[in-house]
Amino acid sequence: MAHYAVRESPPLRGEISISTSKNAVLPIMCGALLTSGDVCIRRPPALSDVDTLCSLLAACGCRVAREDGALILTAESFRNPQDEEDVRKMRASVLVLGPLLARLGEARIPLPGGCAIGQRPIDQHLKGMSALGARVQFDHGGVTLSGRLRGATIYLDMPSVGATENLIMAATLAEGTTRIENAAKEPEIVDLAAFLCSMGARICGAGTSTVCIEGVPSLHGTSWQPIADRIEAGTMACACAITGGELLLRGARADHLRSLLFKLSEAGVHIKDTPGGLIVLGRAKQPFEIRTMVYPGFPTDLQAPMMAVACKTPGTSVFLETIFENRFMHAAELQRLGAHIRVENRVAVVEGTRYLTGASVQATDLRAGAALILAGLCAEGETIVEDAGGHITRGYDHIEKKLALVGGCISRTA
Ligand code: UD1
């Protein structure tokens, strides 16, 4: 089991290089199944989710190689995953559905169960595939989609990131034109569409709520550098807001982080947007209110790190979580460090306190784990973050090394 030992740290100072985005690279890796050509993904982040997806793609017959730090995926001949366990390991593997169906005419995956943060159904993915002409059959805990895809107009009941990505990928090789209405607008969708266009796909409107895809007979290989991880950058900005100091977040893009940057500014943290990245300066001094929303609203993935900031910020901060139904599990763990938090359904009220004290706490999910590490940086004594599920390495590329380089007192064992 991974343990992170964190001690109260001086103000963080220096430069952190932001890794390639997890949420951009995973759909792009699945998109490699849409062509028989080589797809080179430059600077993939060192994350266990990337390794898990590599194993899944390899198990489908896709060639997976690493050359000069890049990932090369070649899906010349491949098949559906045979071992359902490979798919179950990671929720994002549902994103193979669109590419498998588009290329092979048939796709089967086990239905994902609920996860710690909520039920996370895939009804919108399936509704969209069905509108594209796929036959959808449920049996033995899985779902099988089959048929030739034809362009159609699809209305999503909610702007799901994964459903938008899956449907864009499926539609690239469908006959005719597809319109996805009420599509998600996250920067990772814009990046996926640009990546697919570099393979010969015809997509417009990505980043708006209507995406149009004109199907083409085939796609070709490409070389792609996905965008920097806005959630990692936002987490590091929160670390600075907790300890004070000055961090240059190299590669971070202000245009992808507007909602967080406004909130940090409201809290009294200084932000400078420079050509090399974002500079974050000083500690949070005033409380704030956060309502998680789809992009460009405040990202649910930064709710937990921002709650760690609120724990030490004088005054009353309020959080409303609108995306996932069970995403406050870090609150109970933060309370073990001395935080004052009341949770009622989807609302958490945090009274900032001057003192947090170290304790043993559990990383219940990926972002919760990061929030506990951040709180440990300002808790007296030692905080041990136990990560039995290996959540933190799923989504943070060497968080302990990056924080230690700027003065954070943190080490990891196992
Ligand atoms: C992606 C991100 C995740 C982030 C989330 C919300 C990746 C790999 N993961 O997850 O980090 O927290 O966006 O920004 O990019 N829903 C349905 N039916 C569906 C699909 C979704 O009801 O068919 C619901 C979900 O249960 C959830 C909400 O819609 O409550 C948002 O989910 P979605 O946008 O699909 O998130 P993911 O793509 O799973």
CB 380, CB 357: distance < 8 Å: yes
- Residue 24, pLDDT > 80, answer yes
Q: Is the CB of 163 inside a 6 Å radius of any atom of ligand 1? A: yes
Predicted local confidence at residue 15, as pLDDT: 98
List Cβ neighbours of 193 (8 Å cut-off, separation of 6 or more). Answer: 168, 201, 203, 206, 207, 211
The average pLDDT across 119-141 equals 93
| Nearest Cα residue to atom 31 of ligand 1 | 160
Q: Write out pLDDT tens, residues 196-214.
A: 999 999 999 999 999 999 9
Please name which of 253, 176, 179 lies closest in space to residue 209, comparing C-alpha atoms.
179
Model pTM score: 0.97
Predicted local confidence at residue 363, as pLDDT: 97
- Residue 12, pLDDT > 90, answer yes
Predicted local confidence at residue 88, as pLDDT: 82
Residue 104 CA to ligand 1 centre (angstroms): 26
Please name which of 233, 235, 237, 255 lies closest in space to residue 246, comparing C-alpha atoms.
237
Locate tokens 């390794």: which residue? 51
Q: Is the CB of 120 inside a 6 Å radius of any atom of ligand 1? A: yes
Model confidence at 1, pLDDT cuts 50, 70, 90, reads: confident
Predicted local confidence at residue 82, as pLDDT: 80
The average pLDDT across 160-185 equals 98
**Mutation to probe ligand 1, out of 21, 26, 119, 120 (largest number of atoms < 8 A from CB):** 120
Residue 162 CA to ligand 1 centre (angstroms): 6
Q: Considering the chain, what is the average pLDDT of its residues? A: 96
Please name which of 202, 12, 173 lies closest in space to residue 99, comparing C-alpha atoms.
173
The more confident residue out of 86 and 95 is 95
Predicted local confidence at residue 89, as pLDDT: 80
Residue 352 CA to ligand 1 centre (angstroms): 30
Please name which of 43, 41, 113, 68 lies closest in space to residue 57, comparing C-alpha atoms.
41
Q: Is the CB of 21 inside a 6 Å radius of any atom of ligand 1? A: no
Model confidence at 118, pLDDT cuts 50, 70, 90, reads: low
Q: Is the CB of 23 inside a 6 Å radius of any atom of ligand 1? A: yes
The average pLDDT across 399-406 equals 98
Q: How far apart are CA 128 and CA 225, in angstroms?
A: 28
12-17 and 245-250 beta bridge pairing = parallel
Examine the residue annotation and report whether 54 is marked as an active-site residue of this protein: no
Q: How far apart are CA 317 and CA 361, in angstroms?
A: 22
- Residue 134, pLDDT > 60, answer yes
In order of their start, the domains of the chain are 2-18+228-413 (3.65.10.10), 22-224 (3.65.10.10)
Phi-psi region of 200 (alpha: psi -120 to 50; beta: other; left: phi over 0): left
Q: Is the CB of 243 inside a 6 Å radius of any atom of ligand 1? A: no
Which atom belonging to ligand 1 lies closest to the Cα atom of 125? 23
- Residue 414, pLDDT > 90, answer no
Q: Which of 115, 204, 238, 240 is catalytic?
A: 115
- Residue 269, pLDDT > 90, answer yes
Q: Is the CB of 296 inside a 6 Å radius of any atom of ligand 1? A: no
Residue 161 CA to ligand 1 centre (angstroms): 6
In a 3-state reduction of DSSP, which class is residue 369?
helix
Model confidence at 161, pLDDT cuts 50, 70, 90, reads: very high
- Residue 85, pLDDT > 90, answer no
Predicted local confidence at residue 245, as pLDDT: 96
Cα dihedral 339, 292, 288, 387 sign: positive
The pLDDT > 70 percentage for the chain reads: 99
Predicted local confidence at residue 285, as pLDDT: 97
Predicted local confidence at residue 410, as pLDDT: 98
Which two structure tokens, joined as six digits, stand for 340? 């004052």
Q: Is the CB of 115 inside a 6 Å radius of any atom of ligand 1? A: no
* Cα angle value 306/307/311 (rounded, 5°): 120
Model confidence at 243, pLDDT cuts 50, 70, 90, reads: very high
Q: Is the CB of 93 inside a 6 Å radius of any atom of ligand 1? A: no
Which two structure tokens, joined as six digits, stand for 106? 């048939």
Predicted local confidence at residue 280, as pLDDT: 98
Among 140-144, 287-291, 349-353, 389-393, the minimum mean pLDDT is found in 140-144
Predicted local confidence at residue 141, as pLDDT: 83
Which two structure tokens, joined as six digits, stand for 290? 């956060």
Residue 81 CA to ligand 1 centre (angstroms): 22
Which atom belonging to ligand 1 lies closest to the Cα atom of 186? 14
Residue 272 CA to ligand 1 centre (angstroms): 31
Q: Write out pLDDT tens, residues 46-74.
A: 999 999 999 999 999 999 999 999 999 99
| Nearest Cα residue to atom 37 of ligand 1 | 162
Q: Is the CB of 52 inside a 6 Å radius of any atom of ligand 1? A: no
Q: Write out pLDDT tens, residues 356-387.
A: 999 999 999 999 999 999 999 999 999 999 99
Residue 92 CA to ligand 1 centre (angstroms): 10
Predicted local confidence at residue 113, as pLDDT: 60
Q: Is the CB of 298 inside a 6 Å radius of any atom of ligand 1? A: no
- Residue 114, pLDDT > 60, answer no
Which atom belonging to ligand 1 lies closest to the Cα atom of 299? 14
Model confidence at 86, pLDDT cuts 50, 70, 90, reads: confident
